[in-house]
């Protein structure tokens, strides 16, 4: 994994000298497979209708947690942006004159780089889900899968 702490900062950006990360005890339950091999190729927002087919490959111990998933049309995927810097407190967006606080942006560069995507479930193929709507790098570690529920549907 690359050391992103040496990445060049844009004018107006500030970074923190942070202590080692605390352990939240998270377990990766799978991996996301997308056609995006570099950050510059990732869309700013996933497209559930026209985006490319992507894959959610679940690890074997979690396979039974997919029981009944076929009944869902849309899912929320929560994942770890494993190549994102974690030290920027302010960021200079391209085309803007002033830096803004990281918590005011949807940038992947954040202290705890969690990504969340709403995706359309196309089908299940064993331990693999085929979806549309992802906007992350190929090989991104998956943390959780949740159904998207609308209206007054019971929880």
Is 14's pLDDT higher than 60?
yes
Rounded to whole angstroms, the Cα distance separating 132 from 10 reads 33
Please give the order of strands across the beta sheet that includes 100-101: 14-15, 88-91, 100-101
Is 27's pLDDT higher than 80?
yes
**Which carries the bigger pLDDT value, residue 88 or residue 56?**
56
Which tokens go with 4? 């992103």
Rounded to whole angstroms, the Cα distance separating 154 from 1 reads 42
C-alpha torsion sign, points 155, 60, 24, 101: negative
State percent of the chain over pLDDT 90: 65
Is 5's pLDDT higher than 60?
no
**Which carries the bigger pLDDT value, residue 93 or residue 142?**
142
122-146 per-position pLDDT tens digit: 999 999 999 999 999 999 999 999 9
| pTM given for the model | 0.82
Structural domain boundaries in the chain: 27-86+103-147
Which tokens go with 85? 């810097």
- Quick one: average pLDDT of 30-46? 93
Name the CATH topology of 27-86+103-147: Elongation Factor Tu (Ef-tu); domain 3 (2.40.30)
């Amino acid at each position: 994994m690359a050391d992103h702490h040496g990445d060049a900062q844009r004018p107006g950006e500030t970074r923190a000298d942070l202590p080692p990360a605390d352990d939240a005890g998270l377990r990766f339950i799978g991996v996301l497979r997308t056609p995006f091999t570099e950050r510059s190729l990732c869309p700013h927002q996933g497209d559930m209708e026209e985006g490319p087919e992507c894959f959610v490959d679940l690890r074997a111990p979690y396979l039974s947690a997919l029981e009944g998933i076929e009944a869902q049309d849309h899912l929320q995927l929560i994942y770890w942006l494993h190549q994102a810097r974690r030290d920027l407190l302010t960021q200079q967006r391209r085309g803007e004159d002033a830096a803004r606080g990281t918590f005011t942006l949807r940038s992947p560069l954040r202290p705890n780089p969690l990504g969340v995507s709403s995706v359309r479930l196309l089908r299940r193929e064993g331990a693999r889900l085929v979806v549309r709507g992802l906007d992350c790098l190929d090989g991104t570690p998956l943390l959780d899968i949740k159904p998207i529920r609308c209206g007054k549907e019971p929880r």
